[in-house]
């Protein structure tokens, strides 16, 4: 009794199924990803329908091409996954760099603010010191002026004292001359009028 084409075709499709699903014993073969395996399963079902309806030879030459396409698709999918992983790592690195940049930016801004405050404080202190210096210079000038006035006054007093000493000396000399003249006058009067008369004259004057 002959077997039906369907059963015969089903039994002959197993090696193709293994080829599509990547279940062969080839040591160099890499098991496909889940998405590609699902796609391969769908393709296998369509091939099975075609073999059941027509013959295995219909898909015989198409099978290696589909397998190559699926393998290329799997490799492309793996590359995409690797790129996504690299992209995620790059995103994380970028976030870290952005965070570090913002932190450095904030630190720099803070440093610039402190530097500005320090410069302002120095400027204020310098202005205050300049004000004190100007005040001290003004006081020094005033004291120098007072010292000059005192010196001038002292010089005038010394000059006046010198003039007074000269005047006193002149008066003393004049007094001495007058006293001497008076004494000479008294002596001459004594001689001319005699002592008694001089005494009487003196008593009358009293």
Q: Which contacts of 181-188 are long-range, i.e. CB under 8 A and separated by 24 or more positions? A: none
Cα distance between residue 40 and residue 63, in whole Å: 11
Q: Alpha carbon of 190 to those of 185, 201, 202, 205: distances in Å? A: 8, 11, 12, 16
Q: Is the pLDDT of residue 74 over 50?
A: yes
More confident residue, 158 or 63: 158
Give the tens place of pLDDT for each residue, 114-134. 999 989 999 999 999 999 999
Q: What average pLDDT does the segment 64-73 reach?
A: 84
pLDDT given at position 196: 57
CA–centroid distance for 45 within its chain:
72
User: Which residue blocks in 13-61 are alpha helix, DSSP H?
Assistant: 14-21, 34-53, 57-60
- Give the integer Cα–Cα distance in Å for 163 and 169: 10
Longest dimension (CA), the chain: 216
63 near 47, Cβ under 8 Å? yes
Question: What's the CA gap between 186 and 7, in Å, rounded?
Answer: 192
Given a contact cutoff of 8 angstroms between Cβ atoms, the answer to whether 190 and 197 are in contact is no
Tell me the pLDDT tens digit for each residue of 14-32: 444 444 444 444 444 455 6
pLDDT of 184 reads 86
Exposed, middle or buried: residue 77 (CB in 10 Å: 0-12, 13-18, 19+)?
Answer: middle
Query: What confidence score (pLDDT) does residue 91 get?
Result: 92
Question: Residues for the chain: how many in total?
Answer: 206
């Amino acid at each position: 009794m002959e077997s039906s084409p369907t059963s015969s075709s089903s039994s002959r499709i197993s090696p193709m199924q293994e080829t599509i699903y990547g279940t062969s014993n080839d040591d160099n073969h890499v098991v496909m990803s889940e998405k590609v395996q699902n796609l391969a399963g769908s393709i296998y079902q369509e091939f099975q329908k075609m073999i059941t309806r027509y013959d295995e030879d219909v898909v015989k030459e198409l099978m290696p091409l589909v397998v190559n396409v699926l393998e290329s698709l799997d490799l492309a999918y793996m590359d995409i996954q690797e790129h996504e992983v690299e992209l995620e790592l790059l995103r994380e690195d970028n976030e870290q760099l952005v965070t570090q940049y913002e932190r450095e930016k904030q630190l720099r801004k803070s440093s610039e603010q402190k530097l500005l405050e320090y410069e302002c404080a120095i400027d204020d202190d310098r202005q205050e010191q300049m004000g004190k210096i100007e005040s001290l210079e003004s006081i020094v000038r005033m004291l120098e002026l007072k010292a000059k006035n005192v010196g001038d006054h002292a010089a005038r007093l010394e000059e006046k004292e010198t003039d007074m000493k000269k005047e006193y000396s002149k008066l003393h000399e004049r007094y001495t001359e007058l006293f001497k003249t008076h004494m000479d006058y008294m002596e001459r009067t004594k001689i001319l009028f005699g002592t008694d008369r001089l005494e009487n004259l003196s008593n009358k004057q009293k």
